[in-house]
């Protein structure tokens, strides 16, 4: 078997099965559904997650920042880290399960693009109505960076009106804009990182990477300076 077809087979898409653990992060879920990280969402090592992020074009500086902070032991006071104390595999290597990315008072926050707020419903799985609203927002075939920022602002206004216990401070606002910027940086195309709606649909609605739609990982990895630019633009339109 040629190497590429071997890899395609190995990374074939299978939706999560009963008992598989998943994350509020649509990209981590897609990585698991392709077997790029463990399909059952359990016992993922930091190196496995770093390799998976490399696979989709995330640069070394962002990989280290994201993964090292995720694998820190969770601290209730600083709200940092996701791992439980002494959570290691049989070889003593620190591991994380995908559902732990949704632990309260850590990265997960209110006013998601596609998930309901914790106080109002399921903050882990995509909400079909929110996903539809997100995908229909640009009213054209692609999202620009300003669309993502404006959509974040719209989501804030909606949730602020309906969630009496909304928990969305400035830190969460920046984190949410950074998630959108990462998405645009990885799946967007060209100098302006225009993001085809069909790519967002594959990831958010079908929980898979948009290979069938023609997406290929960027040939030069997304690094912090470019990400910072995208975050600033999204913050500008979201504020």
**Contact residues for ligand HEM, defined by CB under 6 A:** 24-28, 49, 53, 58, 66-67, 70, 101-102, 107-109, 112-115, 179-180, 182-183, 186
Rank residues 53 and 230 by Cβ distance to ligand HEM and give the closer one: 53
Rank residues 186 and 231 by Cβ distance to ligand HEM and give the closer one: 186
| Shortest distance in whole angstroms from residue 2 CB to ligand HEM | 28
Rank residues 89 and 122 by Cβ distance to ligand HEM and give the closer one: 122
| Shortest distance in whole angstroms from residue 86 CB to ligand HEM | 20
Rank residues 1 and 120 by Cβ distance to ligand HEM and give the closer one: 120
Rank residues 114 and 159 by Cβ distance to ligand HEM and give the closer one: 114
| Shortest distance in whole angstroms from residue 41 CB to ligand HEM | 12
| Shortest distance in whole angstroms from residue 152 CB to ligand HEM | 9
Rank residues 1 and 59 by Cβ distance to ligand HEM and give the closer one: 59
What 190-198 contacts at long range (C-beta under 8 Å, 24+ apart), as own/partner pairs, is 192/144, 192/145, 193/145, 193/230, 194/142, 194/143, 194/144, 195/142, 195/143, 195/144, 195/148, 196/141, 196/142, 197/135, 197/138, 197/140, 197/141, 197/142, 197/143, 198/141
| Shortest distance in whole angstroms from residue 178 CB to ligand HEM | 9
| Shortest distance in whole angstroms from residue 206 CB to ligand HEM | 15
């Amino acid at each position: 078997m040629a190497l590429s077809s071997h890899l395609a087979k190995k990374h074939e898409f299978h939706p999560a099965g009963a008992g598989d653990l998943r994350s509020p992060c649509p990209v981590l879920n897609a990585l698991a559904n392709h077997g790029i990280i463990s399909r059952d969402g359990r016992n993922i090592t930091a190196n496995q997650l770093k390799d998976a992020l490399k696979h989709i074009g995330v640069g070394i500086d962002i990989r280290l920042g994201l993964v090292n902070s995720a694998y820190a032991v969770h601290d209730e006071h600083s709200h940092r880290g996701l791992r439980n104390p002494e959570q290691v595999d049989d070889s003593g290597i620190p591991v994380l399960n995908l559902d732990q990315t949704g632990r309260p008072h850590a990265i997960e926050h209110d006013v998601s693009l596609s998930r309901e707020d914790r106080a109002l419903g399921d903050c882990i799985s995509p909400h079909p109505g929110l996903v539809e609203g997100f995908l229909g927002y640009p009213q054209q075939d692609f999202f620009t960076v300003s669309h993502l920022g404006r959509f974040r602002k719209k989501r804030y206004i909606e949730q602020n009106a309906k969630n009496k216990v909304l928990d969305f401070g400035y830190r969460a606002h920046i984190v949410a804009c950074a998630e959108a910027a990462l998405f645009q940086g990885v799946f967007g195309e060209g100098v302006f990182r225009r993001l085809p709606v069909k790519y967002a649909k594959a990831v958010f609605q079908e929980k898979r990477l948009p290979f069938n739609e023609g997406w290929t990982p960027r040939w030069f990895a997304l690094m912090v300076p470019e990400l910072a630019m995208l975050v600033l633009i999204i913050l500008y339109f979201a504020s």
